[in-house]
């Protein structure tokens, strides 16, 4: 993967800089440009009617969706990030069925292939464990099945989840590593009236495909979207 090959289709901050995930009430739909307003308005939402935007500086450039009802056919149902200026899915998570039976199935990794919708190809796979009885850990593999990197939740973040869930927010903290070297992070940021999470990929430097970092964030944060 070469960063230069991605620059034609992705904002520079998504590839090499910093960006933010922030929840936003549906009341603010009028502030979003483009046809995605009509698309979102027609969807069934869970209670709360919150969108989860991907923001660069002070501008929303993408929106994260659970998309359980396949709103963007022919793209498959499931978590995805969609463009705003040019509405449509950019990355989708294709969840594989769990294998095994009973408790073995529950303990098995949650496996999702990462589809670049514009290229029509799988760019990697996420193998995620933990989250309830132990911190979340994701093994990130490339299209050939080779380990490309890891995403790990901090012990403090995991330990604080139950009280924070009760209060309506979470202190989520994840670190991305390649061969033991920290290359990116995703962290909860305090903000009144919204949930905000900041991603920093400035040190990835071609070591880990930034689209796979974004996909890991989608997997963890899509639950904060009502759509």
Better-scored residue on pLDDT, 14 or 73 = 14
pLDDT at 45 over 70: no
User: What is the structure's pLDDT at 3?
Assistant: 81
pLDDT bin (cut points 50, 70, 90) of residue 31 is very low
Cα separation, 75 vs 94, in Å, equals: 10
For residues 180 and 16, give the distance between their C-alpha atoms in angstroms, rounded to a whole number. 20
Q: Dihedral of CA 68/20/214/115: which sign? A: positive
What mean pLDDT do residues 34-61 have? 69
Q: Residue 97 is encoded by which pair of tokens?
A: 């069925």
Note the pLDDT of residue 30. 43
Q: What is the pLDDT of residue 102?
A: 55
pTM: 0.86
Task: Give the residue-averaged pLDDT of 115-131.
Answer: 94
Q: How far is CA 168 from the centre of its chain?
A: 19
* Per-residue pLDDT tens over the stretch 60-69: 999 999 988 7
Q: How high does pLDDT run on average in the chain? A: 84
Q: Per residue in 200-213, pLDDT tens?
A: 999 998 899 999 99
39 has pLDDT over 70 = no
pLDDT range class, residue 100, cuts 50, 70, 90: low
User: Which of residues 42 and 5 earns the better pLDDT score?
Assistant: 5
54, 62 contact by CB (below 8 A)? yes
Query: For 78, left (φ over 0), alpha (ψ -120 to 50), or beta?
Result: left
CA distance 53 to 69: 19
| b/e map 8-45, b = 16+ CB within 10 Å | eebeebbbbeebbbbbbeeeeeeebeeebeebbeeeee
């Amino acid at each position: 993967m070469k960063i230069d090959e991605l620059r034609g289709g992705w904002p520079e901050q998504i590839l090499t800089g910093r960006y933010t995930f922030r929840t936003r009430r549906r009341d603010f739909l009028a502030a979003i440009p483009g046809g995605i307003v009509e698309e979102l308005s027609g969807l069934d939402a869970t209670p709360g009617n919150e969108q989860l935007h991907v923001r660069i500086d002070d501008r929303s450039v993408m929106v994260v969706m659970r998309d359980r009802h396949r709103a963007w056919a022919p793209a498959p149902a499931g978590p995805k990030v969609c463009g705003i200026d040019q509405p449509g899915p950019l990355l989708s998570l294709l969840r594989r069925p769990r294998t095994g039976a009973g408790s073995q199935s529950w303990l098995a990794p949650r496996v999702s292939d990462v589809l670049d919708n514009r290229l029509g190809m799988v760019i990697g796979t996420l193998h995620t464990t933990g989250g309830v009885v132990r911190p979340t850990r994701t093994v990130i593999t490339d299209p050939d099945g080779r380990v490309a990197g890891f995403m790990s939740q901090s012990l403090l973040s995991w330990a604080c989840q139950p009280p924070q869930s009760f209060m309506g927010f979470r202190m989520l903290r994840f670190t991305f590593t390649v061969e033991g070297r920290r290359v990116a992070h995703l962290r909860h940021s305090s903000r009144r009236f919204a949930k905000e999470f900041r991603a920093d990929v400035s040190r990835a430097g071609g070591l880990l495909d930034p689209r796979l970092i974004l996909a890991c964030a989608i997997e963890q944060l899509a639950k904060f979207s009502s759509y």
